[in-house]
């Protein structure tokens, strides 16, 4: 398991929360992400984490890396994806 931690400098990301979501599953490596009030958490789950990831991981690296960036564009992209996945609501009958 590896965790990447990002502090967001933009106001859009600082005002968003969304539940964890599977964003990638490839070669027995699963990647989940979620945003909470200006923090992005990326969790990698695998039997063997690739070495470059371990070197940047918040938990396992000697540097305990915390990244900082403007994530507005990525946050908006993620929110669009979440909205697109929502089931369509049935139209309500008009009020009398």
Cβ count within 10 A of residue 13? 25
pTM for the model stands at 0.73
Q: Do 78 and 32 contact (CB within 8 A), yes or no?
A: no
pLDDT band at 9 (very low <50, low <70, confident <90, very high): very high
> How many residues are given for the chain?
96
pLDDT tens-digit profile of 55-85? 889 988 888 999 999 999 988 887 887 777 7
The yes-or-no verdict on residue 7 having pLDDT over 90 is yes
């Amino acid at each position: 398991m590896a965790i990447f931690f990002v502090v967001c400098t933009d106001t859009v990301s600082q005002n968003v929360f969304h539940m964890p979501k599977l964003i990638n599953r490839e070669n027995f490596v699963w990647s989940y992400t979620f945003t909470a009030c200006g923090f992005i958490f990326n969790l990698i789950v695998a039997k063997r984490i690739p070495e470059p990831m371990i070197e940047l991981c918040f938990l396992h690296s000697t540097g305990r890396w915390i990244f900082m960036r403007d994530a507005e564009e990525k946050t908006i992209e993620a929110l669009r994806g979440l909205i697109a996945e929502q089931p369509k609501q049935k139209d309500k009958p008009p009020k009398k």
